[in-house]
């Protein structure tokens, strides 16, 4: 085994916590060329690269890192782009610690951190954008079949791009006024600058994908019209319906879903009110309920809007927290407080219907439940009050029903998500494929992209065999 590999990842510059908590600029600042090359040298170039297996889109990771090491940054970008249409985004928001980096052999060496694959991916994508600009792969002659992609989130974008690269005419339908899905309305500017999403969208459009915004399939056009007009369909509408615990006081002024706060701030740029017309409430004492990535985003957003104190309450303990470690650490650095084993049971308000406090109960962990995590159980009589003028519930999202209500033939599972063949992502309706959160429930950007990629392959096979059978 190679020796003298630096045990730590080459550090990436970040905005200092005391500065960044008052702005919405990106926290992580990226590698310089020298830092990237230095980090690339930590890669062992394994013959059987385990990291690739950990990647939902199977990027040739040692391949692109080798190019970085040799300072062939343009070539490195080509390698990544042949697998992943959105590298600048994945480099920033993928949970690499559970995926490629979790498998990295360097990371398995005693006291060693894995190679910073995510940071390198981000570096390569940003380098390409800065030095090369828009570069398109060769696209085969245009095919006659048309594919509809419903939902312009990460999965839909991936599926659309891969199909466009195969020569299909692809039309992507987006309900919002801007494409990008959760990348635009959900993930904050300080983690994923919207300019980067727009840059990646320009690439998708340049591939020939037509993006129709302001179209809600099931309302603006019917599912029937889509099925009649297109030869195949990919549904990637995400899981966008926010859940509320539904405890007493939920409709008090000051209680919000994380989706609302994040949509106002990210999609509508409410942090720049009144230069932008959409307002957002600034709480002084903010409680965030839940400890996933959305909760971290909401907590850090509330802080940047000017909160004096932000506290995350979570009914399980630090160990069960679903948020990425990096986001948790950033939140801690920024001064966000955490109350573990704590569950709100009631919101208290004044005579004007405004929130004044949250009544919580302490929890303890019991036997593991169906998720494999230990079930939280209320500790009787342990109720206590936390003063708060704003609560943000970030306890998950469910399937959004508008399209599904207009598509009764589509088979759903018992949780209301679309049932698909796990190999092909085919739904119960021939020619209709689905992937991402609307199949799995809320998950990650890269998992949605992985599904979009596989579905694109399946759609290509489906359309190819259909054409072949029509000819014979």
Within positions 372 to 401, which residues make up the interface with another protein, using CB under 8 A? 400-401
The CA distance from 340 to 365, in Å, is: 11
Nearest to 188 by CA among 266, 118, 117, 112: 266
For residue 337, count CB atoms less than 10 angstroms from its CB and return exposed for 0-12, middle for 13-18, buried for 19 or more: middle
Under rule CB under 8 A, residue 248 binds another protein: no
Q: Which residues pair with 390 in a beta bridge?
A: 286
Under rule CB under 8 A, residue 443 binds another protein: no
Token pair for 53: 């297996």
Helix and strand totals (H; E) in the chain = 19, 18
Among 44, 46, 50, 221, which residue interacts with another protein (rule: CB under 8 A)?
A: 221
Under rule CB under 8 A, residue 276 binds another protein: yes
Within positions 280 to 319, which residues make up the interface with another protein, using CB under 8 A? 281
Under rule CB under 8 A, residue 347 binds another protein: no
Q: How far is the CB of 257 from another protein (least distance, A)?
A: 4
The CA distance from 216 to 270, in Å, is: 24
Among 69, 199, 264, 316, which residue interacts with another protein (rule: CB under 8 A)?
A: 264
CA distances from 356 to 279, 284, 296 (A): 21, 11, 23
Under rule CB under 8 A, residue 85 binds another protein: no
Under rule CB under 8 A, residue 222 binds another protein: yes
Under rule CB under 8 A, residue 240 binds another protein: yes
Q: How far is the CB of 155 from another protein (least distance, A)?
A: 17
Among 352, 371, 469, 472, which residue interacts with another protein (rule: CB under 8 A)?
A: 352
Under rule CB under 8 A, residue 219 binds another protein: yes
Under rule CB under 8 A, residue 81 binds another protein: no
Q: How far is the CB of 388 from another protein (least distance, A)?
A: 16
Please, what is the angle between helix 117-131 and helix 61-69, to 10°? 60
Q: How far is the CB of 354 from another protein (least distance, A)?
A: 8
> Smaller CB distance to another protein: residue 185 or 338?
185
Under rule CB under 8 A, residue 227 binds another protein: no
Q: Which residues pair with 393 in a beta bridge?
A: 257, 289
Helices in 15-108 by DSSP H: which ranges?
A: 17-20, 33-40, 50-53, 61-69, 73-81, 87-93, 100-103, 105-108
Among 44, 50, 227, 253, which residue interacts with another protein (rule: CB under 8 A)?
A: 253
Under rule CB under 8 A, residue 266 binds another protein: no
**Hey, how many other C-beta atoms are within 10 angstroms of the C-beta on 400?**
20
CA distances from 443 to 92, 201, 299, 386 (A): 16, 22, 19, 31
Within positions 353 to 372, which residues make up the interface with another protein, using CB under 8 A? 353
Among 402, 429, 443, 467, which residue interacts with another protein (rule: CB under 8 A)?
A: 402
**Residues in the site for another protein, rule: CB under 8 A?**
175-177, 185, 213-216, 219-222, 240-242, 244, 246, 250-251, 253, 256-257, 259-260, 263-264, 268-269, 273-279, 281, 352-353, 400-402
């Amino acid at each position: 085994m190679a020796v003298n590999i630096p045990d730590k990842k080459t550090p990436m510059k970040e905005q200092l916590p005391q500065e960044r908590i008052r702005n919405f600029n990106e926290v992580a600042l990226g590698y310089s060329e020298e830092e990237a090359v230095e980090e690339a040298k930590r890669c062992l170039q394994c013959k059987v690269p385990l990291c690739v297996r950990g990647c939902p889109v199977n990027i040739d990771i040692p391949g692109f890192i080798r190019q970085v090491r040799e300072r062939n940054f343009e070539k490195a970008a080509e390698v990544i782009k042949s697998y992943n249409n959105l590298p600048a985004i994945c480099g920033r928001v993928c949970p690499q610690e559970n995926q490629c980096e979790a498998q990295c052999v360097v990371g398995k060496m005693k006291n060693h951190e894995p190679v910073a694959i995510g940071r390198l991916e981000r570096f390569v994508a940003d380098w390409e954008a800065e030095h090369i600009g828009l570069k398109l792969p060769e696209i085969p002659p245009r095919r006659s079949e048309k594919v509809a992609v419903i939902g312009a989130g990460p999965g839909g974008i991936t599926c659309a791009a891969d199909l466009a690269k195969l020569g299909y005419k692809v039309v992507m339908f987006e309900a919002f006024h801007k494409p990008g899905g959760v990348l635009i309305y959900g993930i904050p500017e300080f983690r994923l600058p919207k300019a980067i999403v727009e840059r990646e969208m320009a690439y998708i459009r340049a591939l020939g994908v037509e993006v129709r915004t302001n179209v809600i399939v099931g309302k603006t056009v019917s599912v029937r019209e889509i099925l009649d007009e297109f030869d195949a369909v990919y549904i990637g509408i995400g899981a966008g319906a926010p859940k509320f615990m539904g405890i007493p006081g939920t409709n008090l002024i000051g209680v919000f879903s994380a989706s609302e706060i994040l949509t106002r701030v990210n999609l509508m740029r409410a942090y720049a009110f009144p230069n932008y017309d959409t307002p957002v409430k600034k709480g002084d004492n903010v409680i965030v309920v839940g400890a996933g990535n959305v909760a971290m985003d909401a907590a850090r957003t509330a802080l940047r809007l000017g909160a004096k104190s932000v506290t995350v309450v979570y009914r399980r303990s630090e160990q069960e927290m679903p948020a990425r470690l990096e986001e948790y650490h950033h939140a801690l650095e920024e001064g966000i407080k955490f109350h573990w084993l704590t569950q709100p049971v009631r919101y208290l308000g004044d005579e004007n219907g405004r929130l004044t406090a949250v009544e919580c109960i302490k929890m303890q962990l019991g036997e593991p439940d169906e998720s494999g995590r230990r079930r939280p159980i209320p500790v009787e009589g342990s109720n206590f009050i936390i003063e708060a003028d704003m609560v943000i519930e970030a306890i998950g999202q469910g399937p959004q029903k508008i399209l599904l209500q207009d598509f009764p033939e589509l088979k759903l599972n018992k949780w209301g998500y679309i049932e698909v063949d796990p190999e092909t992502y085919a739904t119960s309706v021939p020619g209709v494929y689905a992937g991402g959160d609307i199949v799995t429930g809320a998950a990650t950007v890269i998992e949605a992209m992985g599904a979009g990629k596989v579905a694109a392959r399946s759609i290509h096979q489906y359309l190819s065999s259909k054409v072949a059978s029509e000819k014979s």
